[in-house]
Amino acid sequence: MPLKVWSKFSVKKGGNVINLRIVDMPNNLYEKVTNLYMNYYVKEDPIFKASGLLKSAAALEELREMMQKFTKGDGLHSAICCIDNGDDQVNDPIAASMMALTNKGDPEPKFELKTEEIKKMFEIYYGMEAQFSEQKAVNLDRYYSDRGTFLNSEYKDLGILQELLKVRRLICKEQGIPKHGTWMTSQDLQSAAEADGWETAYEIKFEDLGKQYGVAFDKEPASAKFMIVKI
């Protein structure tokens, strides 16, 4: 059965026009999507950097193992962006969006945390969730919970993140889900969400998080934003 194509679009890169498409992730790309996540998202996300994760080989390996479980988890909907050569071939992913279909009251995924850096990362994320709960913010019996949107930085500033967020809305609409929300922790994602019509429901300054959890954040972006879009 052919993979569903959610979007076809073109971008200009270095004076050349590149045709792209966003499709459901095929099973044979688990490893490549994990590599995309580790090589780009992890290295740029403020919370990963502040937790010290990038300086620990053991923590990075632990995170990779977690990510591989996520990509194969039940209820996960992963869409990838790849170059469109006009055939049915699904090429290597240059960007991806992952969401987990969640029911109200479902517990957060549990892991046996090993490294101090991973423990610190989860401490920060759970602290943010305690301040502004995704379940309460969305207030639906059934919704999509974010598992990451990430991009090969060679394709930055071409509108690909915004197109992936648009596809998220299409997926929610197909499932009859009227609202979607997630924490946006990077400036690129925040800008893409604003351009796609998302609104900021809650904002936490990274400076305040740093003081609370004893870590140092970069100056940009200034804050993490929980952003919501109506479908």
pLDDT tens column, 180-226: 999 999 999 999 999 999 999 999 999 999 999 999 999 999 999 99
**pLDDT tens digits for 143-160?**
999 999 999 999 999 999
Q: What is the mean pLDDT of the chain?
A: 93
State mean pLDDT over 31-42: 94
The answer to whether residue 32 scores a pLDDT higher than 90 is yes
The answer to whether residue 108 scores a pLDDT higher than 80 is no
Percent of the chain surpassing pLDDT 70: 98
Banded pLDDT at 1 (limits 50, 70, 90):
low
State mean pLDDT over 68-82: 85
Banded pLDDT at 72 (limits 50, 70, 90):
confident
The answer to whether residue 54 scores a pLDDT higher than 90 is yes
Domain definitions of the chain by residue range:
5-180
Mean pLDDT is lowest, of 10-19, 71-80, 103-112, 221-230, for 103-112
Lookup: tokens for 123:
């401490």
- What residue spans of the chain are helical by DSSP H? 30-36, 42-44, 46-50, 57-71, 116-131, 134-138, 160-174, 187-195, 206-213
DSSP bridge partners of 100: 76, 145
3-state secondary structure of 126: helix
The DSSP code sequence of 177-213 is: --EEEEEE-SHHHHHHHHHTT-EEEEEEEHHHHHHHH
- Cβ neighbours around 56 below 10 Å, total: 16
**pLDDT tens digits for 112-144?**
899 999 999 999 999 999 999 998 899 999 999
Fold of the 5-180 domain? Aminopeptidase (3.40.630)
Instruction: For the sheet with 16-24, list strands across it.
Output: 5-13, 16-24, 76-83, 95-103, 142-151
Predicted pLDDT of residue 69: 80
Residues 204, 131: contact at Cβ < 8 Å? yes
